[in-house]
Amino acid sequence: MPKSANAPRDPTPLEVTAQSHAAVLGPEIRALRKSRGLSLQALAKATDRSIGNLSEIERGQSSVTIPVLGRIAAALGVDITFFFTGSVVADAAERDVIVRHEARRKIQFTSGGATEELLSPRLNAPIEMYMTTFKPGFGTGNVPRQRVADEAGLVLAGEIELHMDGKVHRIRAGDSFLLPAGGSHLSNNPGPEDAVIVWVASAPVGRRSQKTQKGQSK
């Protein structure tokens, strides 16, 4: 029998996935928001949602619709598919330990010239690891990025120019480098082929101190 015009529509497969994985999506949204240095208030303003609703979503107490998830993803600078790979499809027994190649979460930047793949199981772990691919002529932009944690990198392919403390360093495949917290840098790919870099970053200083305080209070 055909449905009436006022009958509720069936949810799409993507909506079913979002609703059934609210408990997983919420912590992922919170971890990504914090890694971006964005407050709950700022995210609420950017997504036109209430702070209370976003708080419930982050705690896994409220399901999230695809349009809302799309606005959250846009505010956090990722594609909506970021939330439907990685831990959502990983086996529960290894979700916090192993990242399979086919389950990496990817961020395609709006410029189209850079892609990041999260290699760590979680965004809020003590150490974060990710892989960046810069197409020729692309990089992090013209504004240096302030570091809130110690970072290190290994160039796997191609080469990059690392601008740091008024100096420009040419880093080639096989070279590695260390960037202490507190400074700023930018990088770009000056070569004719893709540059691939694996980055490792410690937890931001504030988050490390919070963990230490929690450990001391036990």
Domain boundary among 55, 84, 113: 84
Beta strands in 46-88 (DSSP E): none
The residue range of the domain holding 170 is 99-208
Q: Do 111 and 191 belong together in one domain?
A: yes
Q: Do 176 and 116 belong together in one domain?
A: yes
Do the Cβ atoms of 105 and 88 come closer than 8 Å? no
Q: The domain spanning residue 145 has which CATH number?
A: 2.60.120.10
User: Is residue 149 one of the residues assigned to a domain?
Assistant: yes
For the segment 110-134, what is each residue's pLDDT rounded down to a tens digit?
Answer: 556 888 888 888 766 788 888 999 9
User: Is residue 92 one of the residues assigned to a domain?
Assistant: no
Token output for 76: 């956090």
**Nearest of 124, 46, 44, 115 to residue 82 by alpha carbon:** 115
Total count of domains within the chain: 2
> Please, what is the Cα angle at 101 between 38 and 83, to 5 degrees?
35
User: Is residue 43 one of the residues assigned to a domain?
Assistant: yes
Q: Do 58 and 114 belong together in one domain?
A: no
User: Is residue 89 one of the residues assigned to a domain?
Assistant: no
pTM (2 d.p.): 0.64
For the segment 26-77, what is each residue's pLDDT rounded down to a tens digit?
Answer: 888 998 898 888 899 999 999 988 999 899 889 888 767 667 888 898 899 8
Q: Could you give phi then psi for residue 185, rounded to 5 degrees?
A: -160, 165
Q: Do 201 and 108 belong together in one domain?
A: yes
User: Is residue 215 one of the residues assigned to a domain?
Assistant: no
Domain boundary among 84, 116, 139: 84
Q: Do 200 and 160 belong together in one domain?
A: yes
Q: Do 39 and 80 belong together in one domain?
A: yes
- Which CB contacts under 8 angstroms, 24+ apart, belong to 157-160? 157/193, 157/194, 157/195, 157/196, 158/134, 158/189, 158/191, 158/193, 158/194, 158/195, 158/196, 159/189, 159/190, 159/191, 159/195, 160/134, 160/187, 160/188, 160/189, 160/190, 160/195, 160/197
